[in-house]
Amino acid sequence: MRARLPSTSLLVALAVVALTAPFWLTNPYWLHVLIMGGIFAVLALSLNLLLGYTGQLSLGHAAFFGIGAYASALTTLKLERSAWEGLALAALLAGLAGWAIGRLALKLRGAYFVLVTISFAGVISLVSVNWMELTNGPLGLPGIPAPELGPWSFRTKRAYYYLVLAAVALSYLVCRRLVGSRIGRAFLALRENEALAESVGIDVTRYLVLAAVISAAMAGVAGGLYAHYTRFVSPEVFLFTYTVTMVIMVVAGGKGTLAGPIVGALLFTALPEALREVTSWQWQMLTYGLILVLLVFFLPRGIVPTLSRLRKSP
């Protein structure tokens, strides 16, 4: 599997735009949108590993996001450790949850896997509401500190933007290296033809669990980043809407592509905000829905695959 990569000049241009964004994007509100877009990009990249490469639809992805958010928040608030340790623990705990889900869902594919993931997210969400001593229940956990690195603090939006940008770049790199390797090919083999994959010695169990663990750990890091950015975590992080948004981002951007989830994440984070500025609230979600329907209708394979095909055959 040779991943179709964008040309070098395009990549350099994108890097320059991304690195200088806080300087020309003077409105702090739009910088906030960009940061949220980045956090969602990490989430979409992680979901894409499962949905786009192994072909398994996880509708409980918000659970890994939420576990990461709580893990990181509690590490700093209760254990009084640094935000970095919080992020590491977020990845670890979410990865562990991913392992459990992967094992549980092994015998279940398709609709059954989807149901297991939804139920899992439901259970975790209930725990976060009811385990008052740990999570403070529906009141949530306020006062989560921003990460600090030596003398620098990531308290400002501009600084945090760069932290999130680094996380997106790292997630992209992880996905790219995986996809271009024998592990990524094993993921694809599961999606394409499981029986044939087994016949050439691919251990379906092992690779399905591995994909779930990596995907969940990445979503956990995104959750941690979210917690230290908004400084507040409540059971709302487990909302089903988050999962649906992630799926929309992956599918509209182009599942099974490397750039698709990032494009989808940026577009569908910015779109509701842009619509808020140009239409009244009654029309905002309606227009959002309409745009989504049109996108899926005209670009069923997603934005990125369609664009790269246009570029190949001018």
Partner 1 sequence: MTLAVRDLAVRFGGVTALDGVSFDVRAGTITSLIGPNGAGKTTAFNAITGYLRPSGGRVTYDDAPLTGLRPCDVARRGIVRTFQKTSVFPALTVTDNVMIGLHLRGTSGLAAILAGARRVLEEERSLRGRAGEIIALVGLEHRRDHVASALPYGEQRLVELAVALAARPRVLLLDEPAAGMTGVEKDTVSRLIRTIRGLDITVFLVEHDMRLVMGISDVVIVLNHGRVIAEGAPAEIQTHPEVIRAYLGTGGGAAGR
Residue 313, interface with partner 1 (CB under 8 A)?
no
Of 2, 9, 280, 313, the residue at the interface with partner 1 (CB under 8 A) is 2
CB of 285 to partner 1, least distance (A): 34
* Single-letter residue type at 140: G
- Size of interface with partner 1, in residues (CB under 8 A): 26
| Contacting range for partner 1; rule: CB under 8 A; set: 65-73, 159-167, 179-187, 230-238 | 179-187
- CA 276 from chain center: how many Å? 24
Of 108, 114, 198, 287, the residue at the interface with partner 1 (CB under 8 A) is 198
Contact 242, 46 (CB under 8 A): no
Of 196, 286, 290, 294, the residue at the interface with partner 1 (CB under 8 A) is 196
Q: Which is nearer to partner 1, 77 or 168 (CB)?
A: 168
CB of 1 to partner 1, least distance (A): 5
Residue 199, interface with partner 1 (CB under 8 A)?
yes
Structure token digits, residue 175: 């996905």
Residue 192, interface with partner 1 (CB under 8 A)?
yes
At residue 253, φ and ψ (nearest 5 deg) are -70, -35
Alpha-carbon distances of 271 from 33, 35, 174, 241, rounded to whole Å: 10, 14, 27, 16
Of 24, 26, 200, 277, the residue at the interface with partner 1 (CB under 8 A) is 200
| Contacting range for partner 1; rule: CB under 8 A; set: 15-23, 42-50, 188-196, 306-314 | 188-196
Residue 169, interface with partner 1 (CB under 8 A)?
no
Residue 201, interface with partner 1 (CB under 8 A)?
yes
Of 1, 13, 132, 149, the residue at the interface with partner 1 (CB under 8 A) is 1
At residue 162, φ and ψ (nearest 5 deg) are -70, -35
Of 107, 182, 309, 311, the residue at the interface with partner 1 (CB under 8 A) is 182
Kindly identify the residues of this chain, within the stretch 206-235, that bind partner 1 according to CB under 8 A.
210
Of 146, 183, 271, 296, the residue at the interface with partner 1 (CB under 8 A) is 183
Q: Which is nearer to partner 1, 198 or 236 (CB)?
A: 198
Of 94, 97, 202, 227, the residue at the interface with partner 1 (CB under 8 A) is 202
Q: Which is nearer to partner 1, 214 or 247 (CB)?
A: 214
Q: Which residue has the tokens 């842009």?
A: 274
Q: Which is nearer to partner 1, 153 or 205 (CB)?
A: 205
Residue 41, interface with partner 1 (CB under 8 A)?
no
| Contacting range for partner 1; rule: CB under 8 A; set: 67-75, 144-152, 185-193, 264-272 | 185-193
Q: Which residues make up the interface to partner 1 (CB under 8 A)?
A: 1-2, 174, 177-178, 180-183, 185-186, 188-189, 192-193, 195-204, 210
